[in-house]
Amino acid sequence: MTLLEAIDVHVEFTARGRRARAVDGVNLAVGEGEIVALVGESGCGKTTLARTLLGLERPASGAVRYGGAPLTYSTRALKAYRREVQLVPQDPTGSLNPRHTVYEAVAEGPRIHGLPGERERVASALSRAGLRPPERFFPVYPHELSGGQRQRVVIAGALALEPRVLVADEPVASLDASVRGEILALLLRLRAELGLSALVVTHDLGLAWNIADRVAVMYLGRIVESGPVEQVLSAPSHPYTQALLSVLPESPSPIVLGGEPPDPTGIPGGCRFHPRCQVLAGGQAAEAGVDGRCRSQPLDILPAAPGSRVACHFAEAGRAPA
């Protein structure tokens, strides 16, 4: 059932002599045919987690498991893994070599893996990605395409390897509003037609609402809330999720958190969100008698369970936060 899994993954960097815990203990599972959205601000570690799941970073501790087996990092094992788990990068323009035609860009994966029937494979990947008729796009260079078409070429490049999971890092962030829905609809269609699973990394809650089955909200290297999209986004339990939802342009009463995105080189003690937490600052946490714990007692790492989970002392205290 579970296809791709992160088990207690920690990833660390050394930046200017200081240790940054970019991913600080994450359990996350993507089931077969499931679309999971990983949501958070820049600097929360969501992209690092995605890169770790792709085998581009090695976890300091913990493991990535695919189909139940832990990922090994030998050249051969990684190459085999690439046929199963593919990336849809953030910036389609930068992700296409300007010197390669569409055909070459899509054929790159099959050539690396020496797959038979290159031409048919490229044509079918392009038409699956919505570029029809595919032959018309073969000799075209990326700079002759629109942003949406480039993203389709990149997706076709991943599809040409017939993977089972797509890891999409902000797949529509650099695209125009008008093409955004088309690309998201394409991801949904690929799931319906090919049974593809996807982990979509984004800062955009509307995207999660549009296409994801489950959502995991990440803050400062940890997942603070996860669960089915309807539950988490309609009735968020974590104050951070509430704040993120409240600043959407449509929202009636925005809770604008002060300060800048937090710094993974200095993770605060206690609940890592407490310095910016509006529930703590507003006194509701004190009313519930959890303010001491918020400041001093770290929270457990959430398990990768399908139901709704939240890492918050206040929410655990059984109160629905205001």
Partner 1 sequence: MSDATARRREGRARFWREYRTQRSGMYGVAILVVAVLAALVTPLVTDPSGLDVTRATGEKMAPPSLGFPLGTDESGRSILLMVLWGSRVSLLIGFLSALLSMVIGTVVGIVAGHFRGWPSAVLMRITDWFLVLPSLVLALVLAAILGGGTSTIVLAIGVTSWAGTARLIRAQTLTVEARPYVERSRVLGAGHWHVMTRHVLPNVAPLVLANTTLTVATAIVTESTLAFLGADAGQASWGSMLRGSYDWGAVTSGAWWYVLPPGLCIVAVVLAFTLCGRALEVVLNPRLRGVS
Partner 2 sequence: MTQRETQPETQPETQREVRRETPPETRRGRLLELRDVAVTYRSAAGDVPAVRGVSLTLGEGEALGVAGESGSGKSTLAMALLRLLPKTARVTGGILLDGEDVLTMSWGRLRAVRWASASVVFQGAQHALNPVRRVGAQIAEPLLVHGTATPARARTRVAELLEQVGLPAWRERSYPHELSGGQRQRVMIAMALACEPHLIIADEPTTALDVMIQAQVLALIRTLIADRGISLIMISHDLSVLAATCDRLAVMYAGKVVETGPSREVFTAARHPYSRALAEAFPTVGDLASRMAPRGLGGDPPDPMRLPGGCSFRPRCPVALPSCATRDVELWPADRTPDGQIPDGPALDAQAPDGQAPGAPPPDGRIPPEHARPVPRHTAACVHVLPEPAKESA
Site residues, partner 1 (CB under 8 A): 54, 56, 75, 78-79, 82-83, 86-87, 89-91, 94-99, 108-109, 112-113, 119, 141, 143, 154, 157-158, 161
What's the rounded Cα separation, in Å, for the pair 30 and 209?
Answer: 17
CA 147 → CA 42, 94, 95, 191, 222, distances in Å? 23, 11, 12, 22, 33
What's the rounded Cα separation, in Å, for the pair 215 and 280?
Answer: 24
Contact (Cβ atoms closer than 8 angstroms) between residue 193 and residue 160: no
Beta carbon nearer to partner 1, 154 or 257? 154
What's the rounded Cα separation, in Å, for the pair 196 and 136?
Answer: 26
For residue 206, the partner it binds in partner 2, partner 1, none, with Cβ less than 5 to 8 A by kind, is partner 2
The residue from 8, 108, 162, 204 that contacts partner 2 (CB under 8 A) is 204
The residue from 90, 210, 226, 278 that contacts partner 2 (CB under 8 A) is 210
Q: What is the three-class DSSP state of 15? A: strand
> Would you call 281 exposed, middle or buried from its count of C-beta atoms within 10 A (0-12, 13-18, 19+)?
middle
Contact (Cβ atoms closer than 8 angstroms) between residue 187 and residue 104: no
- 260 touches partner 2 by CB under 8 A: yes
Token look-up 């001093």 returns: 296
Written as six digits, the tokens of 288 are 């519930």
- Give me the least distance between CB of 72 and partner 1, in Å please: 15
The residue from 31, 33, 147, 228 that contacts partner 2 (CB under 8 A) is 147
The residue from 80, 185, 305, 322 that contacts partner 2 (CB under 8 A) is 185
Number of Cβ within 10 Å of residue 123's Cβ equals 22
Q: For partner 2, what does the binding mask look like between residues 40 and 59, x meaning CB under 8 A?
A: -xx-----------------
- 90 touches partner 2 by CB under 8 A: no
For residue 298, the partner it binds in partner 1, partner 2, none, with Cβ less than 5 to 8 A by kind, is none
The residue from 99, 177, 253, 300 that contacts partner 2 (CB under 8 A) is 177
For residue 234, the partner it binds in partner 2, partner 1, none, with Cβ less than 5 to 8 A by kind, is partner 2
What's the rounded Cα separation, in Å, for the pair 129 and 57?
Answer: 28
The residue from 117, 136, 176, 297 that contacts partner 2 (CB under 8 A) is 176
Binding site for partner 2 (CB under 8 A): 41-42, 146-149, 176-185, 188, 203-206, 209-211, 229-230, 233-234, 243-245, 247-250, 254, 256-257, 260-261
